[in-house]
């Protein structure tokens, strides 16, 4: 069975600081991995995806993530946080049709 | 590209009533998915369609839930005899393959 674990249900960073949101996956075969962002009372927006091409994946809004097979990780980073980045972030994995999501990390940006 | 749309965005109903939600996918996507998200959790898979065929259903989808996708276009999710535990955000997604794009969701409150 596939699963993802997001370390830290809440992360706070200062505006302009590095954003690091952690995701570890469990999968018996190389998975497809995704990061989604959810703003209050809205659906999920795809930030980026890993589908076994380049291990460093660039997404929208300046976010990127690196697939590390040896560490079974797919952490999300952004060099400089902006107030508009405040939201809930979900890591997800799939090897079939259904996505399995982590429990999410709420990102707060401190002015 | 108009994105995935869902209707209604909000629904309040009394316990025991039936409700129906509609999802209109991105037009060229042949796969359509339904998820349920409760407060503080990541979305959980309910079911998915490839064209008009319903190919997988989660154990979360009790007998009171039914989904259809006639003609492989829009989809409906019906909940019969609603219970308070059905209160959640119901998310629809569509995609060509492995990547899913989400709609804004329908928030259901069962009183």
Give A23's contacts in chain B (Cβ within 8 Å).
Answer: none
Burial status of residue B36 (CB atoms within 10 A of its CB: 0-12, 13-18, 19 or more): buried
pLDDT in tens, A4-25: 999 999 999 999 999 999 999 9
Q: Does B103 touch chain A (CB under 8 A)?
A: yes
Chain A residue numbers with beta carbons less than 8 Å from the beta carbon of B109 are none
Helix%, strand%, coil% for chain B, nearest 5: 5, 50, 45
Residue bearing the bigger pLDDT, A26 or A79: A79
Query: Which residues in chain A have their CB less than 8 angstroms from residue B40's CB?
Result: 103-104
pLDDT bucket at A85, cuts 50 / 70 / 90: very high
The pLDDT value recorded for residue A110 is 97
Q: Do B42 and A101 touch (CB under 8 A)?
A: yes
Mean pLDDT score across all residues of chain B: 94
Task: Examine the pLDDT at B31 and tell me if it is beyond 80.
Answer: yes
Reduce the DSSP state of residue B85 to 3 states and report it: helix
Beta strand pairing call for B5-7 and B19-24: antiparallel
Q: What is the mean pLDDT of residues A37-56?
A: 90
Residue in A5, A99, A105, A106 to test binding to B, most B beta-carbons within 10 Å: A99
**Residues from chain A contacting residue B95 (CB–CB below 8 Å):** none
Distance in angstroms (rounded) separating the CA atoms of residues A10 and A98: 26
- Phi and psi of B98, rounded to 5°? 55, -25
Please report, in angstroms and rounded to a whole number, the separation of the first and last CA atoms in chain A.
41
Q: What percent of chain B has pLDDT over 70?
A: 99
Query: Does B37 score more than 70 pLDDT?
Result: yes
Q: What is the pLDDT of residues B67-107, one digit of tens each?
A: 999 988 999 999 999 999 999 999 999 998 889 999 999 99
Alpha-carbon span B88 to A76, nearest angstrom: 27
Of A22, A7, A5, A90, which is closest to residue B35 (Cα–Cα)?
A90
Is the confidence at residue B1, as pLDDT, over 70? no
CA distance A102 to B43: 8
User: Closest approach of chain B CAs to the CA of A53, in angstroms?
Assistant: 14
pLDDT of residue A1: 74
Question: What are the beta bridge partners of residue A49?
Answer: A34
Q: Locate the chain B residue with the closest alpha carbon to A39.
A: B104
A102 contacts in chain B (CB < 8 Å): 42
Q: Residue A43's CB: how many other CB atoms inside 10 A?
A: 23
Query: Cα distance from A82 to chain B (closest Cα, Å)?
Result: 23
pLDDT of residue A77: 98
The answer to whether residue A96 scores a pLDDT higher than 90 is no
Mean pLDDT of B40-67: 93
As a whole number, mean pLDDT of residues A91-101 equals 89
Count Cβ atoms within 10 A of the Cβ of residue A76 and give its class: 0-12 exposed, 13-18 middle, 19 or more buried: buried
Answer yes or no: do A43 and B41 touch at CB < 8 A. Answer: no
């Amino acid at each position: 069975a596939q699963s993802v674990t997001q370390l830290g249900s809440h992360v706070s960073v200062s505006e302009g600081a590095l954003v690091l949101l952690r995701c570890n996956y469990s999968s018996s075969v190389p998975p497809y991995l995704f990061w989604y962002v959810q703003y209050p009372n809205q659906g999920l927006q795809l930030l980026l995806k890993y589908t076994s091409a380049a291990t460093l994946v660039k997404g929208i809004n300046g976010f990127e993530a690196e697939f590390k097979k040896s560490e079974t990780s797919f952490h999300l980073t952004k060099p400089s946080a902006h107030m508009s980045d405040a939201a809930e972030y979900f890591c997800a994995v799939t090897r079939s049709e259904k996505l399995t999501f982590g429990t999410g990390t709420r990102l707060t940006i401190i002015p | 590209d108009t994105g995935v749309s869902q209707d209604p965005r909000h629904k309040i109903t009394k316990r025991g009533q039936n409700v129906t939600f509609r999802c209109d996918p991105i037009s060229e996507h042949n796969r359509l998915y339904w998820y349920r998200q409760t407060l503080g959790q990541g979305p959980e898979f309910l079911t998915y369609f490839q064209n008009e065929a319903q190919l997988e259903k989660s154990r979360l989808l009790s007998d009171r839930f039914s989904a259809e996708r006639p003609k492989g276009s829009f989809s409906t999710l019906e909940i019969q005899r609603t219970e308070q535990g059905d209160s959640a955000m119901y998310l629809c997604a569509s995609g060509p393959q492995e990547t899913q794009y989400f709609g804004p969701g329908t928030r259901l409150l069962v009183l």
